[in-house]
Amino acid sequence: MKKPLIYVIEDDRDMSELLTNYLKRIAEVKKFYNAISAVNNIDEDNPSLILLDILLDGPDGFTFLNEIMSYQKTAKIPIILITSLEIGAKEDLIDYGVVEILNKESTTPDEIREVTEKWIDRNVKNN
Partner 1 sequence: MTEVNGVFVVAHELKSPLALMRQLALSIDLEDEKSVVFAKDKIVSTAERAMRQVNDLTKIARLEDGLFELEPVSVRGVCDDVTRELRYLYRENHKTLKEKYTNRSKLVVANREMLYSVIYNFCLNALRYSDEETRSELIVKDSGDKIEIRVRDFGPALPVKIWKELKYGWISEPTSIAMRPGSSGLGLYIASKFARFMNGDVSAIRHRDGTSFILKLPVSKQASLF
Residues that bind partner 1 (CB under 8 A): 11-15, 17-18, 21-22, 33, 55-60, 84, 104-105, 108-109
Could you tell me the smallest distance in angstroms from the CB atom of residue 15 to partner 1?
6
- Residue 59 or 122 having the CB closest to partner 1: 59
- Residue 109 or 124 having the CB closest to partner 1: 109
- Residue 55 or 124 having the CB closest to partner 1: 55
- The 3-class SS string of 67-126 reads HHHCCCCCCCCCEEEEECCCCCCHHHHHHHCEEEEEECCCCCHHHHHHHHHHHHHHHHHH
